[in-house]
Structure 1
């Protein structure tokens, strides 16, 4: 009786084992769009600016950081601010799904 060749054995093992391997999950383009839309919506709700909207693209950090960021642009609602344009930096916690904003007018300083 001859011994089975290793390649044939591995092929047979794969044929038997593969049906029990769960399919790999990957994010679809639609899932990424939905995620980014949720970040922007949460950040706009957390913003103190009127007519708030994303002032740029969503910035995805490494999963180890657990956050996503986006700049929110709008206008200051306070009377003394005279409807001046403003920016806020929003950091979105992926685990809690909460958005935190802070004034960011000095984030990009011209000439530096």
Structure 2
């Protein structure tokens, strides 16, 4: 199977003027990789993921809530979340975020 390569993730998704966009970059039975683009003021309301996940903020600024904790992401912020942790993301500035869903092999 050939390698999957992206040399500039920021070019893979254009942030909309108003709204949120997502693009699946890779998926197999163990991993799903999704690139998000958030316009300023956009958010993902509180939800959970059934599998562990990694968030990597590429640019912008967003308020991230993980359970009862809240912080502001900046470029190069890394987050590892266990499965079923309630979380939300609210973009303060146009923001790109890479999401890795770590699936359990069957």
TM class, shorter-chain normalised?
Answer: under 0.3
Q: TM-score, normalised by structure 2?
A: 0.25
Select the structure that is richer in strand: 2
Q: TM-score, normalised by structure 1?
A: 0.24
Which protein shows a greater Rg? 1
